[in-house]
Structure 1
Amino acid sequence: MKLFLLCLLCSYTCIIAQRNVVLIIADDLSSEYCGFIENHRDTVKLPNIRRLLAKGIVFNKAWSNPLCSPTRAGILTGRYSFRTGVGDAVGGQGSRVLDTAEMTIPRMLNIFKPNGIAKANIGKWHLHTTMPQTNYILPLTLGYDHYEGNFAGQLPSFYSWNKIKDGKSAVCNTYATTELTNNAIDWVKSVPQNKPFFLWLAYNAPHSPFHLPPSNLHSYTELKGIPSDTATSVVPYFKAMSEALDKEIGRLFDTLEAQNIMDSTDIIFIGDNGSDMKVSQVKGGAKGSISQEGISVPFIISGPSVKNPGRYSNALVNTHDLFATIIELMGFSNWKQNILQSKPVDSKSLLPIIYNQDSIIRDWVFSEVFKLTPVAGDGKTMRNKEYKLMDYDNGTQKFVNLLKDPEEDIDLLQANLSGNDKTNYEYLCGEMSKLVGTGAFCTALSVQNSDTDEYFTSYFDSQSSLLTIQFHKPLQKQATVHIYSANGKLEQSVEILPHQYSIQVDMNNVAAGLKTISLIHDDLQFKKAILIHK
């Protein structure tokens, strides 16, 4: 009898000690539609996702990348896009895809416990192109034991789609959200008892094409589901798809409970980027953009690892932080010794917040987008607790105070900066410069003006868009004035003839923002910062 009780106690202890992690990714579901996130707008019904709140933490200030593939690459490797090269949605010839030499979460778990942790990726992959078909084995190459899902960024139809299972492809006619849940449930049931597991479950919903889900999965009974209706009334279909996603997630949760493993499983729920432009509730803000609505996502961690659950955190977090967090939740604390110096990892573990030992893990978060065919919105952004700097690849910048202006309506670079504004601007562009390592992002504000006073003064007339540069005494030799953008891009050059007292520079074709005036005269260079506001 004593031996039986001892064995029973040992078995119970092993079950409690086991830690599983399930990462659930909703596709194109931003925080604006989630009623449990601060600053939300019109919401969708997500009762099953809300089941996570009582045992979890909601992160109000979580950032992703603006697009699907870069966010997935960032989570899988813990590295920012400028390091992985994946800055755009993968698809088509010439796409920048994830290097198969990258260290990944499942590879790291294999180092930690070879064959000791079950690892599956189910759902949307979107890190490599669909052709050649030899790519279908790449999820296994990157460390997973099992892959089942689809490679494309968008399904042609949720009711008929190409499904890949461990390298082999076949047409699937089961509704995609249901099929992926079925696959997840079947895989979880196949994992040997007491063997810890990591499941990456990436749904395609509620990504387009917008459609009518099966009637048992949503409450929108009035929808017709015909093409003319889905094209003109997009939002109700988006909401119906989100409800269907939530209901299927609930079925997975029910299975975990029935298998008696819900209490030993940490569940992470996130969105991968902002909402589709067709359903975005903010003018000018949506997926693909480094605006708040393009990168603010729902982010919940729930389960037995969370101490003092039911919390809301205002900590700044990146989706990239899931790399370190998942690895450490699985028990691998000294994983950093396996990181190559040539491939630095940007991820920071959220365990101090999960364990309620600290309220912050980083002073800033970062995001970026760079498309295969460059567009005006390409750029990098960084925020701290109060301010956000957006630095676009076309040489323009925008700087906002998110506490006072969460809608990002007021560009502080279009007015006189306060001392606090300037301090935060210099901090953010300085940190971005150090991170990216490609030169200064804030040349203008870092310029010391005192040594220019005896040579020239300058002022800008916003009505005429003329920049006047006044010399205190005429120059005896020919000189040159260069005007640079805040990130060091040359925008104007003007030659000054000997004996001129002043010049005027037409700034009509120059973007607003902070500039550096550089005067080169007699082998000397003098610089002065000026704000161009229009």
Structure 2
Amino acid sequence: MKKFFFSLAVVLTAMSLAVAQKSAKPNIILIMVDDMGYSDIGSYGSEIQTPNLDKLANEGIRFREFYNNSICAPTRASLMTGQYQHKAGVGYFDVNLGLPAYQGYLNKESLTLAEVLKQNGYSTLMSGKWHLGQDSLAWPNQRGFEQFYGFVSGASNYFDIGKYGQAPPVVLIKNNKKLKLKEGEYLTNTITDNAIEFLKDQNKTNKPFFLYLAFNAPHWPLQALPEDIEKYKGKYDIGWDSLRVQRLARQKELGILQPTQKIAERDPEVPLWDNLTYDQKQLWKAKMEVYAAMLDRVDQSIGRVLNTLKELKKDDNTLIIFISDNGAQGGFAGIGRKPQRNTGPIGSPGSYDYQEQNWAYVSNTPLRQYKNNMHEGGISSPFIAWLPKQIKAGSLVKGTGHLIDLAPTFYELAGAKYPATYNGVTANQLAGKSLVPVLTGKASEVNRGEPLFWERAGNRAVHKGKWKIVSTFPAYQWELYDLESDRGETKNVAAQNPQIVNELSADYVKWAEKTGVVDYDKIKPAQPMVIPGQSSSSAQAQRTAQ
């Protein structure tokens, strides 16, 4: 009889453990990189070594279509809240233009992922770039994060180079206290170090966690560790023309680029590699070697986080999402941004250089245009999701997801209730749709029942089904593209389809009114910010208009 009861106890214990594991809320890690192009990781066609991201892609799911808001702060506003950026208060950037939709920091009505998940029993951790308001009242610890390490502005050096005289020291914040990067430290490493520290400390609790890991790389300035740069010496001697051909071929092999899709035409502003002098080639290839090294270090960092998850025995129940905040940045030095103020070679602590349009044209393969533009090259991101036992390994789908879809996705998976009010304030309703049906193989793309919309500094777009209208400030003329066959946006078919243009344009007007969007001509700042993320032609157009 004792043996029977012992056996029964073992069975019941095993059953209770199985039920507990099945019902356990998943941990969530949201990884965002900065200014990285659509084709810059291995699973999207790149030659850059990203084995850890490739592992997540091979064991998880990739989207061919995932959209951001084309530039840093507006993207992060939608990411953190599940709202269109205007609704969250960051319609233009992290500067105040005097209207609620353009106040430059998150409003209280737009609840952050950290606020909602914390209220639903999660530990909330962040390491990296915030860029959602520099006033201390808008810092991460004040918006729901229990642990924060990083910087709150839009960019940072990767080394403390105050001794060089022309650039300030790297000032960081850890849980509301300012500190500086130590000599010899590299920012990508310290962001990772602190994320791992937070995970290990959180492991002492019985709660699930949400970690937002926001890397600054590969955003300018081009600064990398010597051992990482060395790995890419000579790899870019072939130049941007040949490299783009190689990436296109790899994208076709991977299924990222479908055989029926048209690709973006060659950027006429980018010179032919073979027409450059020897000295010019040395300068340009050095830029891409450092850019690749910066992404390589990000991938190494993700590998360290994966090892930590395994060490903590949390790898089987952790959702990992990887995205970029916008496409690679175009623009040429001296056109659209200040001349370089380098005090050292490209890649060194004294470097203040950036990738520029010639290589960004490759990074955004096979798409058109760059950061700050609403063509596909500006608003498209790789998307990888990994959750063992729930996401089928090696999945590749159209997806058509957007930043606003991440909040409802996380809340559904976490079993989290989104409150109607928070601290006495009525919360904005979520704008997106859960990605769970796509992630679990029940759908190949999001069924949202309405278009996706964009507006930033007068640049506008609407995506509905296979159709997309887009216009670039100061022009108010809509272009129309059939993205099903022409993801590269090579043929404007607006003249042939006026009814489609009128329909989507009417949708845009309704959305703009509901969301608080104001005609950019009426609110543009007297001294517009310089964006090193647009083509030289669009930069010139904005300067002429303003």
TM-score normalised over the length of structure 1: 0.70
Asked if 1:292 is matched to 2:296, the reply is: no
Q: Which has the larger radius of gyration?
A: 1
Q: 2:465 aligns with which of 385, 388, 399?
A: 385
Matching residue's letter, 2:291: F
Partner of 1:354: 439
- TM-superposed deviation, 1:204: 0.4
Partner of 2:150: 149
Equivalent position to 1:234, from 287, 294, 304: 287
RMSD of aligned residue pairs (Cα, Å):
3.2
For 1:403, the equivalent position in structure 2 comes to: 484
1:105 to 2:80 alignment: no
How far the C-alpha of 1:32 sits from its partner, in A, is 2.6
Q: CA deviation at 1:220?
A: 2.3
Query: What is the Cα deviation at residue 143 of structure 1?
Result: 1.2
Are the aligned partners of 1:316 and 1:363 in contact in 2 as well (CA < 8 Å)? Answer: no
Higher helix proportion (structure 1 or 2) = 2
Is the contact made by 1:81 and 1:368 (CA closer than 8 Å) also made in structure 2?
A: no
Indicate yes or no: 2:298 matched with 1:245.
yes
Q: Does the 8 Å contact 2:467/2:482 carry over to 1? A: yes
Greater relative contact order (Cα 8 A, min sep 6): structure 1 or 2?
2
Counterpart in the other structure of 1:123 = 128
Residues 397-440 of structure 1: CA deviation (Å, up to 9, x unaligned)? 21122233322232223xx41xxx3453344223323322379x
- Provide the rounded CA distance (Å) in 2 between the counterparts of 1:432 and 1:180: 39
Alpha-carbon distance in 1 for matches of 2:514, 2:227 = 53
| Equivalent residue for 1:275, pick from 310, 313, 328 | 328
- Aligned twin of 2:402: 318
1:335 aligns with 2:339: no
TM-score, normalised with respect to structure 2: 0.69
In structure 1, C-alpha distance between the alignment counterparts of 2:288 and 2:449, rounded to whole Å? 36
Structure number with higher strand proportion: 1
Q: Residues 491-510 of structure 1 correspond to what in structure 2 (within 5 A)?
A: none
- Given that 2:478 and 2:501 are in contact with CA atoms closer than 8 Å, whether structure 1 keeps it comes out as no
Kindly indicate whether residue 382 of structure 2 is the aligned counterpart of residue 370 of structure 1. Answer: no
Give the 3-state SS of the residue equivalent to 1:382 in structure 2.
strand
Return the offset for 1:234.
Answer: 1.8
Which amino acid in 1 is paired with 2:456? F
Aligned to 1:60: 64
**Whole-Å Cα distance in 2 between the matches of residues 28 and 246 of structure 1?**
15
> Quick one: structure 1 residues 244 and 399, their matched pair in 2 at CA, closer, same or farther if it must change by over 3 Å?
same
Shift of 1:396: 2.3
- Offset at residue 368 of structure 1 (A): 2.7
Alignment CA distance shift 1:385-1:232 (3 Å): same
Which of 412, 433, 453 does residue 493 from structure 2 map onto? 412
Separation in structure 1 between the aligned mates of residue 18 and residue 201 of structure 2, nearest angstrom: 20
How far off is 1:344 after superposition?
3.2
- 1:14 equivalent among 16, 20, 26: 20
Q: CA deviation digits over 1:228-286, x for unaligned, max 9?
A: 97777322211111111111111111111121111110100111101122131169711
Report the CA distance between 1:61 and its aligned residue: 0.6
Partner of 1:465: none
Once residues 289 and 369 of structure 1 are traced to their aligned partners in structure 2, the CA distance between those partners, rounded to angstroms, is: 10
Distance 1:305 1:320, change over 3 A: farther
Q: Which deviations, in whole Å up to 9, do the C-alpha atoms of 1:294-327 show, x marking residues without a partner? A: 0100111111363433211112111121111112
- Residue equivalent to 2:80: 76
- What aligned pairs does 1:482-493 form with structure 2 within 5 A after superposition? none
User: CA 1:72–1:212 in 2, change beyond 3 Å: closer, same or farther?
Assistant: same
Whether 1:263 aligns to 2:316 is yes
**Matching of residue 169 in structure 1 with residue 178 in structure 2:** yes
Q: Which runs of 5+ in 2 are unaligned?
A: 1-5, 162-169, 236-280, 331-355, 523-546
Alignment of 1:442-461 (within 5 A): none
3-state SS in 2 of match to 1:268: strand
Residues 458-488 of structure 1: CA deviation (Å, up to 9, x unaligned):
xxxxxxxxxxxxxxxxxxxxxxxxxxxxxxx
Partner AA of 2:189 in structure 1: T
Map of 1:195 onto structure 2: 207
| Structure 1 gaps, min length 5 | 372-377, 442-488, 490-534
User: Mean Cα displacement is larger for which, 93-102 or 147-156?
Assistant: 93-102
- Whole-Å Cα distance in 1 between the matches of residues 69 and 85 of structure 2? 9
Closer, same or farther: CA 266–120 of 1 in aligned 2, 3 Å: same
How far apart, in 2, do the equivalents of 1:153 and 1:240 lie? 21
Q: Deviations over 1:2-31 (max 9, x none)?
A: 657755764565355431000000111121
Equivalent pair of 1:70/1:87 in contact (CA under 8 Å): yes
